[in-house]
């Protein structure tokens, strides 16, 4: 299956690269820390949660299929331009991009 091969290539990325990829969003807005420190720490926490959940979803597809179906649907569904959320599908429901698929 081509999708599984693509997922394997994503897994082979260095964990340091993935961490830096997520952390640069936290370090770009440091002025927020002076104005709204709670918001800054919330952004940092969400970046770490995203990093862990996203890596687990790609390393263990059967786990993702059962516990993160919105993310599994994004990669294995017919339309990959839907189901963008990783941590929770709330924004997908609000924006109308959540699509559920049935698998055998």
- Mean per-residue pLDDT, 3-24: 61
Q: What is the pTM of this model?
A: 0.63
Model pLDDT for residues 69-102, shown as the tens digit of each residue: 988 888 888 888 888 888 889 989 999 988 888 8
The string of DSSP letters for the chain reads -HHHHHHHHHHTS-HHHHHHHHHHHHHS-THHHHH-HHHHHHHHHHHHHHHHHHHHHHH-HHHHHHH-HHHHHHHHSS-TTS---SS-THHHHHHT--------
């Amino acid at each position: 299956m081509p999708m599984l091969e693509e997922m394997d290539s994503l897994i082979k990325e260095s964990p340091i690269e993935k961490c830096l990829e997520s952390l640069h969003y936290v370090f770009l807005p440091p002025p927020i820390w002076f104005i709204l420190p709670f918001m800054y720490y919330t952004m940092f926490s969400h970046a770490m949660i995203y990093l862990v959940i996203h890596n687990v979803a790609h390393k263990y597809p059967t786990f993702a299929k059962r516990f993160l179906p919105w993310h599994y649907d994004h990669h294995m569904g017919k339309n990959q331009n839907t189901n963008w959320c990783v941590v929770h599908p709330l924004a997908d429901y609000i924006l109308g991009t959540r699509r559920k698929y049935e698998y055998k």
